[in-house]
Amino acid sequence: RSTDDGLRIFVQRVRELTKLYRKEHNWDNLVLENATKQLSELQGELFDIRAEWQLNTASEVGVTINGLPVTYDMAKQRLFCAGESAELKPVQGRINLRVLVDRVGIEIFANDGRLYVSYGYIPPPESTRGIAVWAKEGTAGIVSLKVAELNSIWKTE
């Protein structure tokens, strides 16, 4: 695609993933002020998470998935996860994240696929599992948050 930085490759997840959707959860227009919102109604290990953030005064925003934080640093305009980071510029004051959660890893598609990263990750014991969204040192809005619980692709007998 053509961008302000020249031609760039964008990566998207496959459409067929929606065939694995078991249950969907939606939240709109959430405001977080130096707070964490635990998404306690979610069940399972496999998720398709889509979040659109309105960047306001918070220094960081993010989502924690089974103990693994995916953090966006506003001042640095960088996305951090698993000890790695990548540049991610906001688009009209917003970023969007799509995170596919598997049993042994996560894939992150940011700003409609402009940034794609994949991490191997084995979650900690059940007691620390779950998903939360948060904002640090200020306010941030979540324009839209959609989480689909997924069925396994593997058939069991």
Q: 39-57, pLDDT tens digit by residue?
A: 988 877 899 999 999 999 9
Q: Is the model more confident about 52 or about 5?
A: 52
pLDDT tier, 7 (very low <50, low <70, confident <90, very high otherwise):
confident
Whether 130 has a pLDDT exceeding 90, the answer reads no
- Which tokens in the block code for residue 19? 């065939």
Q: Determine the Cα angle at 134 with ends 116 and 83, to 5°.
A: 45
In the predicted model, is pLDDT for residue 157 greater than 60? no
Band the pLDDT of 75: cuts 50, 70, 90.
very high
User: Residue 64 gets which letter from DSSP?
Assistant: E
Q: Check whether 15 has a pLDDT greater than 80.
A: no
Question: For position 128, what pLDDT does the model report?
Answer: 67
pTM: 0.87
How far is the C-alpha of 51 from the C-alpha of 54, rounded, in Å?
A: 10
Q: What is the pLDDT of residue 63?
A: 95
Residue length, the chain? 157
Average per-residue pLDDT for the chain: 89
Separation CA 130–CA 67 (nearest Å) = 7
- In tens, the pLDDT along 76-126 reads 999 999 999 999 999 999 999 999 999 888 999 999 888 999 999 888 776
Q: Choose among 119, 129, 17: nearest CA to 65.
A: 129
User: Taking the CB of residue 25, how many other CB atoms lie within 10 A of it?
Assistant: 15
Instruction: Encode pLDDT of 55-68 as tens digits.
Output: 999 999 999 998 89
| pLDDT at site 18 | 85
Which 8-state DSSP code applies to residue 134? E
9-12 contacts, C-beta under 8 A, 24 or more apart: 10/112, 10/113, 10/114, 11/109, 11/113, 11/116, 12/109, 12/112, 12/113
Strand 47-55 to strand 139-150: parallel, antiparallel, or no bridges (unpaired)?
Answer: antiparallel
Does residue 8 carry a pLDDT above 80? no
CA distance 122 to 105: 7
